[in-house]
A and B are shown apart, each in its own frame.
Chain A
Amino acid sequence: MVPIEYYLLLSAAVFCIGVFGILTRRNALLFLMSVELLLNAANINLVAFSRFHGNLTGQTFSLFTLALAAAEVAIGIGIVLVLYRNFDDVDVTEATTMRW
């Protein structure tokens, strides 16, 4: 059985890659992908500890997290669409206010 620390290190690496993407990227779609990396890092932890403790709660909870990620992406892509229509670009630094 793979030690739990390996899963945690993988999760931390994915999480830090997501943080780096959020801090540096200006494209809204890449922004969304970075948020997905953060969510999937949490999912790795949930599944790893589920197996570590011999309980299925973590795996079931990760499924709900995936569903929430899908809902977030649906809204996020809608916002990207509106951003492109109004600013002719998907650069998140162009939209500096909540109104125009």
Chain B
Amino acid sequence: MSVDRGGRDADVDDRSRKWPGVAAIALFVVLAAVFVGAPFGDAAGGFEGDAGITASIGYSMFNIDAPDAIPSEGFLVSFILIAVVLDAALDGAVMLATREEEDERSPGLASDATDRGPERVPSTDGGRPVGDGEEVDD
């Protein structure tokens, strides 16, 4: 988080901080009023079955029919789908983080070659500042 010279939090725009705060508090008040006034009925009073909660989650995740498991639905198809989504996310993250050597801009979100603006010439002098007593050859 950056702080400017005045000591303010430069990450937050002060002008737009008041109304989002009011909106968030108003949303909380509305949600709280609904939750406190809603009839939820009687609680079940704990879980049925003799197996532990963690073991029963494992049974439901892989569609295993255990006689003493806590009742739940099967999630095997969801498990496979989430595995595919995580794999795609890993590939996407690697693709976005890959940097090409000759182009400083990342290829991940560039639209095409004509949109890349003025060409940048990579520095070959190690990034030394110009004008510190040395004569610069062009």
Q: A67 CA to B61 CA in the complex, in Å?
A: 13
Q: Is the interface of B mostly helix, strand, loop or mixed?
A: helix
Chain A interface SS verdict (over half): helix
Which of B13, B43, B88, B117 gathers the greatest number of chain A CB atoms within 10 Å? Answer: B43
Chain B contacts for A13, CB-based, 8 A:
28
Interface string of B35-79 (1 = CB under 8 A from A): 110001001111110000100110011000000001111010011
Q: Which residues of B contact A54 (CB under 8 A)?
A: 44-48, 70-71
- Classify chain A's interface size: 35 or more
CB-nearest residue of chain A to B75: A60
B90–A56 touching, CB < 8 Å: no
- Let me know if A68 and B24 touch, CB within 8 A: no
Q: Are A55 and B70 within 8 A (Cβ)?
A: yes
A1 touches B45 (CB 8 A): yes
Alpha-carbon distance A79/B89, docked complex (angstroms): 12
At the interface, yes or no: A96 with Cβ under 8 Å from chain B?
A: no
Establish whether residues B43 and A99, one from each chain, have CB atoms under 8 Å apart when the complex forms: no
Query: In the complex, are the beta carbons of A23 and B104 less than 8 A apart?
Result: no
Chain A residues within 8 Å of B116, by CB: 100
Neighbour of A4 across the interface among B40, B111, B115, CB < 8 A: B40
Provide a sorted-by-A list of 25 A–B residue pairs whose CB atoms are within 8 angstroms: A5-B40, A9-B35, A16-B31, A17-B24, A20-B21, A23-B20, A23-B23, A24-B20, A30-B11, A53-B44, A56-B56, A59-B57, A67-B85, A67-B86, A68-B82, A70-B86, A71-B86, A72-B89, A74-B93, A78-B94, A78-B96, A81-B97, A82-B108, A82-B109, A85-B106
